[in-house]
């Protein structure tokens, strides 16, 4: 027996509980189990407490009549629709203000970011002042200020600022004619789609030709012509199948047409001016991150400053810009929940009303969190996709 102990042990598979992979799995399963247990405990506790208090629970309320009205509805809605529908109305309002806000913030951000780097002293200082002031004042205050400015600056309905007979601006909003599509408008849409396809094909062809022969082609102007010309032609041929419902001044306010509410204007202004300042800094950082050699090379090729920016610097800077830009878009979307302070019926605002009218706080909060989480993940996913595309440009 003794001799056996001297013999070197044959390489034996480690006991499975020593295997780091098994251990890691086990540890993770344990943690997951504990988390689930904790969650189950919380859920059970909540349900028991709600039952004890006699508070109704469950999602059945989504189908019952809401009973309240909402000022801005992108889809049909009035007090007879359900709470579920009211949620969707609020969600669309959030989308709407976030989409317009993101667009405007991006434009403001790029202009201001580049302006801050301008060699013109005044331009650079104005941009710097804007960025520093706006970034350091709380957004809520800015929103309220914009709302006061919008309301204070606009006249009463009877003294509306009017552009001809069809566009009115007053304290109740901006009123424009509402397009009424008649039979035959489908042709115009079809023509537009066709022109989009044509433009894409054209752009590809032009690029291939440019790469092969070095001959540039005025893609921008041709595309513009095609995009407008083709639908316009179809419009005339189909017998002008479009009319407008014009806003008219009534006793209290303007009725008919389409309206952009002052709450919406204040939200868009507030959100885009605020977020624009952050984007400006990101853009500036992105541009500064590109080495000076790139500028010098561009100038050496005879490109102007504008061309150098557009063709050489910005495409490279975008790779630095996009990731932080994404989080600004996310911030803007989430910040739109401040709409409640100035009476803009965004998702959070409507959810609060529903919470109060039904008393089902747990369900309403759960829905609200799920919606904002989904919204954030969607924006991230899109920006990741876009970022991956931009990264491919690298050679």
Partner 1 sequence: MRLLGTVVAATMAAATGLAAGSALAGPTFDAVREKGFVQCGVNSSGLPGFATVDDQGNWSGFDIDLCRAIAVAVFGDRNAVKFTPLTAKERFTALQSGEIDVLVRNTTWTLTRDTALGLDFLGVNYYDGQGFMVPKSLGVKSALELDGASVCVQTGTTTELNLADFFRANNMSYEPVVFETNDELLPAFQAGRCDVFTTDQSGLYATRTKFENPDDYVILPEVISKEPLGPVVRHGDNEWGDVVRWTLFAMIEAEEYGVTSENVDELRANSTNPTIRRLLGVEGEFGKNLGLPQDWAYQIIKQIGNYGEVFERNLGMNTPLKIARGLNDLWTRGGLQYSMPFR
Contacting positions for partner 1 (CB under 8 A): 50, 52-56, 67-71, 78-80, 147-148, 151-152, 156, 171-172, 250-253, 255, 262-263, 340-343, 345, 349, 352-353, 355-359, 361
In the bound state with partner 1, the residue whose beta carbon lies nearer, of 25 and 42, is 42
Closer residue to partner 1, CB minimum distance, 268 or 283: 268
Which CB sits closer to partner 1, 272 or 353? 353
Query: What DSSP string describes 293-328?
Result: HHHHHHHHTT--HHHIIIIIIHHHHHHHHHHHHHHH
Q: How far is the CB of 270 from partner 1 (least distance, A)?
A: 15
User: φ, ψ for residue 181 (rounded to 5)?
Assistant: -85, 130
Q: How far apart are CA 240 and CA 26, in angstroms?
A: 71
Residue 274 CB, nearest distance to partner 1 (Å)?
Answer: 19
Distance of alpha carbon 42 from its chain centroid, rounded? Answer: 34
Residue tagged 């035959």 (tokens): 184
- Residue 112 CB, shortest distance to partner 1, in Å, is 30
Dmax (CA) of the chain:
111
Task: Kindly state the smallest distance separating residue 249's Cβ from partner 1, in Å.
Answer: 11
Spatial contact of 264 and 72, defined as CB atoms under 8 Å apart: yes
Of 13 and 53, the one with the shorter C-beta distance to partner 1 is 53
Minimal distance in Å, beta carbon 142 to partner 1?
A: 15
Other Cβ atoms within 10 Å of 222 Cβ, number: 15
Using the minimum distance from each CB to partner 1, give the nearer residue, 142 or 326: 142
CB closer to partner 1 out of 70 and 191? 70
Distance in angstroms (rounded) separating the CA atoms of residues 35 and 29: 10
Q: What are phi and psi of 29, to 5 degrees?
A: -60, -40
Q: Which two tokens stand for residue 256?
A: 């008919």
**Cβ at position 356, least distance to partner 1 in Å:** 3
């Amino acid at each position: 027996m003794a001799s056996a102990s001297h013999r070197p042990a044959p390489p034996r598979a480690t006991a499975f509980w020593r295997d780091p992979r098994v251990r890691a799995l086990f540890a993770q399963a344990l943690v997951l189990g504990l988390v689930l247990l904790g969650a189950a405990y919380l859920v059970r506790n909540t349900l028991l407490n709600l039952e004890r208090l006699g508070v109704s629970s469950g999602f059945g309320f989504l189908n019952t009549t809401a009973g309240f009205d909402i000022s801005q509805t992108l889809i049909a809605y009035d007090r007879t629709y359900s709470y579920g529908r009211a949620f969707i109305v609020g969600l669309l309002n959030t989308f709407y203000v976030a989409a317009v806000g993101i667009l405007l913030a991006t434009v403001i951000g790029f202009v201001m970011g580049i302006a801050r780097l301008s060699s013109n002293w005044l331009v650079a200082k104005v941009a710097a002042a804007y960025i520093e002031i706006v970034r350091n004042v709380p957004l809520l205050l800015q929103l309220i200020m914009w709302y006061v400015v919008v309301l204070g600056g606009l006249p009463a309905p009877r003294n509306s600022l009017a552009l001809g007979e069809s566009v009115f601006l007053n304290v109740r909003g901006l009123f424009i004619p509402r397009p009424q599509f008649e039979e035959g408008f489908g042709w115009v849409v079809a023509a537009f789609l066709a022109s989009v396809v044509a433009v894409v094909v054209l752009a590809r062809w032009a690029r291939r030709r440019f790469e092969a022969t070095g001959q540039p082609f005025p893609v921008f102007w041709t595309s513009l012509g095609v995009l407008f010309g083709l639908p316009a032609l179809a419009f005339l041929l189909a017998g002008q199948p479009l009319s407008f419902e014009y806003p008219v001044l009534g006793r209290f306010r303007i009725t008919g047409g389409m309206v952009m509410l002052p709450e919406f204007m204040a939200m868009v202004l507030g959100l885009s001016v605020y977020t624009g300042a952050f984007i400006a800094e990101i853009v500036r950082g992105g541009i500064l991150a590109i080495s000076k050699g790139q500028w010098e090379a561009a100038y050496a090729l005879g490109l102007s400053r504008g061309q150098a920016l557009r063709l050489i610097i910005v495409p490279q800077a975008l790779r630095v810009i996009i990731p932080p830009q994404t989080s600004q878009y996310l911030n803007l979307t989430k910040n739109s929940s401040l709409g409640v302070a100035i009476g803009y019926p965004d998702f959070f605002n409507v959810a609060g009303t529903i919470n109060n009218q039904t008393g089902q706080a747990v369900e309403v909060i759960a829905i609200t969190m799920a919606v904002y989480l989904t919204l954030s993940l969607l924006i991230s996913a899109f920006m990741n996709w876009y970022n991956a595309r931009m990264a491919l440009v690298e050679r």
